[in-house]
Structure 1
Amino acid sequence: MKLPADRARALSDGREADPFDILGPHPSQGGWRIVALDHGAVEMSISAVDGERPMSPAEEAPGLFVGFLPEPMPYLLRGSDGQTQWEYEDPYRFGPVLGQIDEHLIGEGTHRQLWRVLGAHVIKHQGVTGTHFAVWAPNARRVSVLGNFNGWDARRHGMRRRGSTGVWEIFLPGIGEGEAYKFAITGAHGEPVPEKADPVGFGAEHPPATASVVRELHDFNWQDGAWMKRRGRAQSVSAPISIYEVHPGSWRRVIEDDNRPLSYLELARDLIPYVAGMGFTHIELLPISEFPFDGSWGYQPVGMFAPTIRFGTPDEFRHLVEAAHEAGLGLLLDWVPGHFPTDPHGLARFDGTALYEHADPREGFHQDWNTLIYNYGRREVSNYLIANALYWLQEYHVDGLRVDAVASMLYRDYSRKEGEWVPNIHGGRENLEAIDFLRSVNTIAYGEVPGIMTAAEESTSFPGVSRPVDRGGLGFGFKWNMGWMNDTLSYIQHEPVHRSHHHNQLTFGLVYAFSENFILPISHDEVVHGKGSMIEKMPGDDWQKFANLRAYYGFMWTHPGKKLLFMGCEFAQRREWDHNTSLDWHLLEDTRHKGIQSLVRDLNHLYRDLPALHKRDCSAAGFGWIDGGAAAESVLSYLRYGEEEDAPVAVICNFTPVPRHGWQIGLPRAGKWKLRLNSDAGVYGGSGMTTTEIITADGDEYQGYDQSALVELPPLSVLIYEAA
């Protein structure tokens, strides 16, 4: 019954790399030797169906006990410290859970449902219920699971290494949902690694606590079949897509309850009907993958597979998604595969080596955000991220992913000086591995999950971001139009008297408007860090500020491209956004703020109701200039077209506070054109200047069109006419 002395001491000290080779049942002369490790026991015994047998303390090292069974059979271990007794299943009597196919796919980097095998899963194994833990740590010498169930003692519950895949696993009987856990990892040279949260953990403790939490991925009783069948049409390039971007922690807070944020269930109750009533088609949530620092807004995630516990459990997040679908809304998530934080419990040097990140800081360290960059060229890392995208789309019925900071992924010299970056294999600046990764994730996501959409936050002129991969593109469905946003916001902040000198900032976007499938974004980034709120960007006195903002929104909603507006901008929040406080909903008691909200609601409904405003958002056939050159008067006029059977729409924008009487415009169709929206209307807080409700296109040829009409242009206004 002797144990190898060196290995016994290593086992007792928590240094043994293969505890399964010693602990548990092993054939021995005349039967089976049982070895157990329990530093809290002074006595131990084996309880089997044929009775109880004592175990002897091992001479070789403390905490080890040796016993004997005549033949293989289920058994329990019983321990005593002289006062208290306890009984438990021996995890070392259970065989492996992972199969050879899983091992092969993990090693190959092609396991698209990686979350089904890694992480912590409550299962029944060999007739016993418990939790199976599995983690990828290929360069580790030893890995164990820590938790309340073992007193956070790294010496216990060492895991089994599975061949060359670098995966470690163990089945712990009796462990169920709600248990907090981490991994204790010893590096390849015996060095300790900071305790790690589970990279594929489905739950987490509430920050600042950092452990993962066992959460069951049981089958959810989804009731959104009708939405799922039609969402592909609702998310196509010809559909009206108007996105309300939300930070769930600060949309609205419960002041009476210590100013806490709303839960997922409360957001389902309050946020969903608000967004639907406002006429938006989609909600986009800032990242909800678990993150340690509130001030990162979720853009520095640690728990990529865990919906943040700040607002509730994974099932409660599913209820939020289902509520959106029931209301006819798509729900999009901001997704962050570009970088991750250096927090010691996260992915950084996970197994004692640069595993998920590049070892060379010129490739692996993000100078702007003090974060680490994924090594996309490593197949297991790329697989991890692709599986994460599929996880959100499949397990939570999320309708799409907006991928953060794509520009930083595409270029190796992004925000770096000469000598601070490593060229690619051809000597260029493009990150070829990241490009391949983005193409793969889009191809696989669109191929495996029908009806979804992906969007890129990409600020450069990289070609083909929203073009199919088989045509040389990156495969995104849509791209944020950052150039349009920068130019038009710069324009609208000029005093009207100076706008004639900056007219091209409004018109230049049409030069490239159809080179991608664009979304026009007014996002959270435009109302923080000293940039001012949307209303405070506007020049002039209060009346002009509101009029300018109304005109800007009218221009935005009639310009080619899908729409995105950050929360609070729809009612002209005056303060910059603060992630720690609620939006200033009390402002809606002011008719001017209420007017902006009403305008955005009506623009959304008009955008959805008029095919000419959305069907050809991404096609040059959907747009035509009436007059883009009236710079001296700061007036723009243009046409929007749908299909041949759809009535065209004429838009006239006056970006000065000067009324324009009898303004002539050319029109492509004779007859009556009906005013559908006037941003200067009194109901929106405008001047209420009388304008023409019905204009008649006849008379002289003008501006290249066979007909023309005269229009009364109110100050700082946008007029939208539909051909009758």
Structure 2
Amino acid sequence: MTEPAFLKIMQGTADDLFAHLGPRPMARTGRRSLTAFAPRARRLSAVIGGQSFPLTPVRGAPEIFVGELPREGAYALERTSAGGTTLTYRDPYAFGPVLGVMDSYLIGEGRLDRLWHKLGAHVIPHEGVRGTHFAVWAPHARRVSVVGDFNGWDGRCDVMRRCGASGVWEIFLPDLGEGTLYKYEILGADGTVLPLKADPVAFGSQHPPETASMVRDLSGYGWHDGDWMAARAPRNAVSAPISIYEVHLGSWWRDDTQGGRPISYREAARTLVDYVADMGFTHLELLPLAEHPFDGSWGYQPVGLFAPTIRHGPPHEFRDLIDAAHARGLGVLMDWVPAHFPTDAHGLGRFDGTPLYEYADPREGFHRDWNTLIYDFGRPEVANFLTSSARYWLEEYHVDGLRVDAVASMLYRDYSRDAGEWVPNKDGGRENYEAIALLRRINTEACGACPGVMTVAEESTAFPQVSRPVDAGGLGFSYKWNMGWMNDTLAYIRTDPIHRRHQHGQITFGLTYAFSENFILPISHDEVVHGKGSMLGKMPGNDWEKFANLRAYYGMMWGHPGKKLLFMGQEFGQRAEWDYDAQLDWDALARPDHAGLRRLVRDLNRLYRETPALHCRDADPGGFQWILADAAEESLFAWARHGAQTDAPVAVLCNFTPLPREGRLIGLPRAGLWHEVLNTDAEIYGGTGRGNMGRVEAAPHPHDGQPASARVTLPPLSVVMLKAAPHG
């Protein structure tokens, strides 16, 4: 080794320590030469089978030691510091590469399935020794080092091996394992040492506000959900009852006896899962749990797309939560964010000193709304990274589906940008072709690799065929959030009843496009934050009228075509706006009105699950039939829901005024007995108890375009559902 090479190693500018350090055969003597770098060492020896071979410091380069060893035998290095402390460790430069040529090639091409199997930190045996293999993509870096407590966070040590032209760097560090904290020190192409970077494919992280990655061994978990996984596809199908309870895990419940700490994954596996199952929901949806630095982002600004947040426990305990949910018959969805990422110094921004993961042009690569960066969707390696992240949660954690956040911001290059502030596509248009291709790839690969999963788009525009198959020209999502329905119906229900006759179309309009996509009706966290107030707070009138309005709204929602989603706390009418930093107001359930509302939601879920007409043709216009669409002066709506030919139809009757309608003649799809299967004004829900004594008899007298009709009592601010009795 030349003197300049010695100096580069000590200065931290050498980019290929494997060319200089470690053992080398000596043909002339039949022995091995050994060169080792040991900063701050007073003495260094190699130990083979209990025999010590002292190494000599190089003159002018006292941190570099050289010596000769026997030709055979694994060695360890014994380092004595200036203070006399002795440490024995294995030399990482004695080990060969782990990644093969094909691995590197496919990573560079952006075509490696399950990218997380190769990149990140993996606890493995290698050449007879157990340790951790680190691999990271940083194609423009001059040098990449793994740093941590194990090397004093000294980037001159443990410099990684460059894997050809792929841009991947790797190193095997013997004897490191589960729980090791680490980051990457990267020397940019211009010689600048960048801020220490967390691992983009880390499986675990340090607890925020600390930002180091953590080695997590994902192997060895014993799943118990084989039966669920084999049979889950029908539970996610468009014909299935899907009623989703959306949860921010950090604020659902907190332990006041321990400083208000959030619930752990294992606690949630008991209490949350039991609660959601008891409430009759079919699915639990978790706001993003990928690691994120800022609590106030609720997880929507992640830096660790392969790391469950440590806020609630380690990865295996997150698996405990999923396993427990499956045991109770609950599917689990998780919000996933490929649309943007934060600018935190330890994150993906300018990862190797260049705009690597993000578009270089801020007109494409920066979200002014959120002060975040935008992935370069067209770069093959970035597309592979995001596709693999989606598959990772589905495969490694048995998540049953992903709800993809902010899809609209991905689809349009001019999203939230004025003229001249965005870059058109190659055809001069506003659509982001690269993002569209990526979403199609994610949906195709995720559903292909994980049969039975669902993907859900939060998409707020009229972009066509979001929930249609890719081979039919669609984006390939299973479902789309119906944001238009949500906006219109909330505007209607918050209007004073005396003026609702002027807003009638806000209920009827949604039925003109209700079957253009596979829709989920979302009353999500977004509707109860940032000054929007709680759901109960949106309702007009006095306290009784607020609860009656909210009960009627939920009754209408559960009777309307489309799958259901309700954010936590809304099921019992929490009065305060949602606060991510505090638990729900569980004490409210001591009041009969709140308890009654929760009882209604539980019964709505039960009725919805048990009644095919209310769910099996949600995306089929043949499953819906208007009875009353134009009774604006009375603020009445009525429609029929139909299932298969043998399923009993259901009539959904809505009275959105505080006036009772006694003996109102309503058309019905057939004559005979109809059971009152739900009345939101029932006393057990906090209502007045008015109704139809459990049944009505329809005579064969056509009315409202129906072949039969009946006199029905519609209580004030209520929804009544009637189900036809079986024939014969």
TM-score by length of 2: 0.98
Contact 1:692 1:711 in 2 (8 A): no
In 1, the alpha carbon distance for the partners of 2:357 and 2:429 equals 23
Query: Quick one: distance in 2 between partners of 1:647 and 1:513?
Result: 22
Which one-letter code corresponds to 2:44 in the other structure?
Answer: M
Corresponding residue number in structure 1 for 2:36: 36
Distance 2:50 2:638 in 1: 91
- Whether contact under 8 Å (2:80, 2:87) holds in the other structure is yes
- Give the structure 1 partner of residue 21 of structure 2: 23
Aligned to 1:238: 239
Q: Which moved more, 1:41-50 or 1:497-506?
A: 41-50
Deviation at 1:112, TM superposition (A): 1.6
> In the alignment, residue 500 of structure 1 is paired with which amino acid?
R
Query: 1:289 aligned to 2:290?
Result: yes
Which residue matches 2:5?
7
Aligned-partner Cα distance in 2 for 1:291–1:362: 25
Residues 1:265 and 2:270 are matched in the alignment = no
Q: 1:533 to 1:418 in 2, by over 3 A?
A: same
Deviation at 1:691, TM superposition (A): 2.7
d(CA) in 2 for partners of 1:116, 1:297:
28
Cα deviation, residue 198, structure 1 = 0.4
* 1:135-146 alignment, distance < 5 Å: 135-146=136-147
Question: Structure 1: how far apart are the matches of 2:194 and 2:60?
Answer: 27
Contact 1:12-1:62 within 8 A present in 2 as well: no
Residue 692 of structure 1 deviates from its aligned partner by 4.5
**1:680 aligned residue:** 681
Partner of 1:65 in structure 2? 65
For 2:21, the aligned partner's letter is: L
CA distance in structure 2 between the aligned counterparts of 1:686 and 1:61, rounded to whole angstroms: 86
The answer to whether the aligner puts 1:515 opposite 2:516 as a matched pair is: yes
Moved more, 434-443 or 655-664: 655-664
Q: C-alpha deviations, 1:523-542, integer Å up to 9, x for none?
A: 00000000000000000000
Residue 702 of structure 1 corresponds to which residue in structure 2?
703
Q: Is the 8 A contact 1:363 1:421 kept in 2?
A: yes
Contact between 2:146 and 2:185, CA under 8 Å: does it hold in 1?
yes
Q: SS at the partner of 2:489?
A: helix
SS at match of 1:491: helix
> Which TM-score applies when normalising by structure 1?
0.99
How many angstroms apart in 2 are the aligned matches of 1:173 and 1:653?
68
Separation in structure 1 between the aligned mates of residue 75 and residue 88 of structure 2, nearest angstrom: 10
8 Å CA contact 1:533, 1:574 repeated in 2: yes
Distance (Å, rounded) in 2 between the aligned partners of 1:427 and 1:26: 59
SS at match of 2:447: helix
- Please show how residues 295-694 of structure 1 align to structure 2 within 5 Å: 295-694=296-695
Amino acid at match of 1:6: P
Residue aligning to 1:255:
256
Q: CA deviation at 1:627?
A: 1.0
**Distance in 1 (alpha carbons) for counterparts of 2:635 and 2:102:** 66
SS in 2 for 1:192: coil
- Work out whether 1:202 is the aligned partner of 2:200: no
The corresponding residue for 1:191 is 192
Query: How far apart, CA to CA, are the structure 1 residues paired with 2:468 and 2:265?
Result: 35
Q: 1:99 Cα deviation (Å)? A: 1.3
Residues of 2 paired with 1:117 and 1:61: CA distance?
Answer: 36
* CA distance in structure 2 between the aligned counterparts of 1:322 and 1:248, rounded to whole angstroms: 16
Matched, 1:74 2:69: no
Task: Work out the CA distance in 1 between the residues paired with 2:542 and 2:86.
Answer: 78
Superposed CA deviations along residues 386-412 of structure 1, whole A, max 9, x for unmatched, are 001111000000000000000000000
Q: Provide the rounded CA distance (Å) in 2 between the counterparts of 1:261 and 1:85.
A: 42
CA displacement at 1:50 relative to structure 2: 8.1
Q: Residue 194 of structure 1 aligns to a residue in which SS?
A: coil
Counterpart amino acid of 1:258?
A: G
Deviation per CA, 1:173-210: give whole Å up to 9, x if none: 11110010000000011111110000000000000000
2:671–2:700 CA contact under 8 A, matched in 1: no
Deviates more, 1:19-28 or 1:130-139: 19-28
SS in 1 for 2:102: helix
- C-alpha deviation, 1:110, in angstroms: 1.2
What letter is aligned with 1:467? R
The 8 Å contact of residues 679 and 691 in structure 2, kept in 1 or not, is answered as no
Q: Per-residue displacement from partner, 1:449-481 (whole Å, max 9, x unpaired)?
A: 011000000000000000000010000000000
Report the Cα offset of residue 87 of structure 1.
1.2
Q: C-alpha displacement at 1:49, in angstroms? A: 3.6
1:52 maps to what in 2?
52
Percent of aligned pairs with the same amino acid = 62
- Cα distance in 1 for residues equivalent to 2:359 and 2:94: 39
Q: Separation in 2 of the partners of 1:168 and 1:372?
A: 24
**Contact between 2:184 and 2:198, CA under 8 Å: does it hold in 1?**
yes
Which residue identity lines up with residue 509 of structure 2 in the other structure?
F
| 2:401 alignment partner AA | G
Give the secondary-structure state (helix, strand or coil) at the position aligned to 1:42.
strand
| 8 Å contact kept, 2:133–2:172 | yes
Q: SS of the residue aligned with 1:102? A: helix
Deviates more, 1:704-713 or 1:320-329: 704-713
**Contact kept? 1:636, 1:653, Cα under 8 Å:** yes
Structure 1 Cα separation of the partners of residues 51 and 580 of structure 2? 62
Partner SS, residue 712 of structure 1: strand
Amino acid across the alignment from 1:522: I
Give, in whole Å, the separation in 2 of the partners of 1:249 and 1:706.
Answer: 53
Q: Is the 2:291–2:305 Cα contact (8 Å) retained in structure 1?
A: yes
- Tell me how far apart the structure 2 counterparts of residues 670 and 638 of structure 1 sit (CA, whole Å): 16
Shift of 1:667: 1.4
- In the alignment, residue 556 of structure 2 is paired with which amino acid? F
1:716 counterpart residue number = 717
Q: 1:617-657 CA distances to partner (integer Å, 9 max, x unpaired)? A: 11101100001110000000000011111000001000000
Whole-angstrom CA distance in 1 between matches of 2:691 and 2:394: 50
Whole-Å Cα distance in 2 between the matches of residues 383 and 48 of structure 1? 44
Q: Kindly indicate whether the alpha-carbon contact (under 8 Å) linking 1:691 and 1:714 is maintained by their aligned counterparts in 2.
A: no
How many angstroms apart in 2 are the aligned matches of 1:418 and 1:54?
70
Kept in 2, the 8 Å contact 1:669–1:707? The answer is yes
Structure 1 outlier segments of 4+, above 6 Å: none
RMSD between superposed Cα atoms in Å = 0.9
Q: Distance in 2 between matches of 1:70 and 1:297?
A: 58
Amino acid in structure 2 at the alignment position of 1:537: K
1:467 counterpart SS class? coil
Contact 2:122 2:133 in 1 (8 A): yes
Contact 1:341–1:371 under 8 Å retained in 2: yes
How many residues matched?
Answer: 722
Q: Deviations over 1:245-278 (max 9, x none)?
A: 0000100111111011110000011000100000
Letter in structure 2 aligned against 1:629: D
- Residue 22 of structure 1, CA deviation: 0.3
> After alignment, is 123-132 or 28-37 more displaced?
28-37
